[in-house]
Amino acid sequence: MGTYHAGSLAVQELLGVRDRADHVGRSLGQDIKPVAAAFLELQPLLVVGAADPGTGRVWASALTGAPGFVRATGPRRMSVVTDRRQGGRPGGEQGRVRSAAAAGPHPHDAIDDPLTAALKTQGTRIGTIALDPRTRRRMRLNGRLGPTPRGFAVEADQVFSNCPKYIQRRETYETLEDRTPGIPTRLTELGPQQAEFVRAADTFFLATVHPAGADVSHRGGNPGFVQVTSPHELTWPDYPGNAMFLTLGNLRSTPSAGLLFLDWTTGTTLQLTGEARAEFTAAGERNVRFTLAEALWAPAALPLRWSAPEYSPANPDVRD
């Protein structure tokens, strides 16, 4: 596959940014550079996105562990430890890797994370993003998955970093090893609690796919930038970015999408799957409309607890 597929090229042409996209696209490669490898090994959080091999629905999930649970194990290979009995760093500290919904044994009937099967399937097309709120840095690695005895590895097709725009700074975090996650609940519509959760969010992650791959991107803004227009529908503005339009390009070719909202202070997560479509206004603005098919609400699912945010100076004001 070239730098861009037909969907991204069509959006770039529509918005008149093909030249800029070609220039920015030179940053996409397959190699994990030493600075990127060092960045990965410091992260306690990795967000992954893929299609469930059983249903075809696209989901985004969060994985956590002691720094070192994600690391480069070759020039184009990233390995992730998901076995909670294993340490994140070989011979080092004991990391506990958890997905957003499968946070460990629960006395009630726990619901497996929607991507459990995908993360165990050879050849799964997967998108990943490591985002560090402490430094406002993010790195995306997309490729093909292969299960390993301790988790999985990804053979990279695309490796690149994005600018710090719209990332809220969070100075510190702590890991709560002893906690009682709530019972995950599957939903077909957003209730008042979930709707308020979305409205209060300053960050979410968006998983998309195309015929040859998958991708996870970050979306950020001041609280209220995501609007709940009905129990089955969300909208948000597509703020100016790098002009590659990987996400909107994916949605143009395949509207399936997965959203992950997380509460950085409680560890609660909300995963949504459905379809998303971009809307282009005559004034040159872009909005995305998401229609919900299914959701998974998981109180206190993640063990990470981050400090209060310092909002990005790039965030536009939220209009009433």
Instruction: For residue range 211-254, list pLDDT tens digits in order.
Output: 889 999 999 999 999 999 999 999 999 998 888 888 898 999 99
Residue 310 backbone zone (phi > 0: left; psi -120 to 50: alpha; other: beta)? beta
Q: Which residue did the predictor score with more confidence, 111 or 163? A: 163
**Count of CA atoms in the C-beta half-sphere (13 A) of 149:** 1
pLDDT range class, residue 94, cuts 50, 70, 90 = very low
The pair of three-digit structure tokens given for residue 91, joined into one six-digit string:
């011979």
**108 pLDDT tier (thresholds 50, 70, 90):** very low
| Least confident stretch, 1-15, 102-116, 179-193, 225-239 | 102-116
DSSP per-residue codes, 16-37:
T-HHHHHHHGGG-BS---HHHH
Cβ pair 288, 277 in contact under 8 A = yes
CATH entry 1.10.1740.10 includes domain 6-306: no
CB-based contacts of 267, cutoff 8 Å, min separation 6? 176, 179, 181, 300, 301, 302, 303, 304, 305
Give the HSE-up count for residue 138: Cα atoms under 13 Å, Cβ half-sphere.
Answer: 22
Task: Give yes or no for residue 159 having a pLDDT over 90.
Answer: yes
Sorting pLDDT into bands at 50, 70 and 90, what band is 68? very high
* Whether the Cβ atoms of residue 318 and residue 223 lie closer than 8 Å to each other: yes
Residue with more model confidence, 74 or 4: 74
For the whole prediction, is pTM greater than 0.85?
A: yes
Q: Are 79 and 90 in contact (CB under 8 A)?
A: no
The predicted structure's pLDDT at residue 85: 53
pLDDT for residue 103 is more than 50 = no
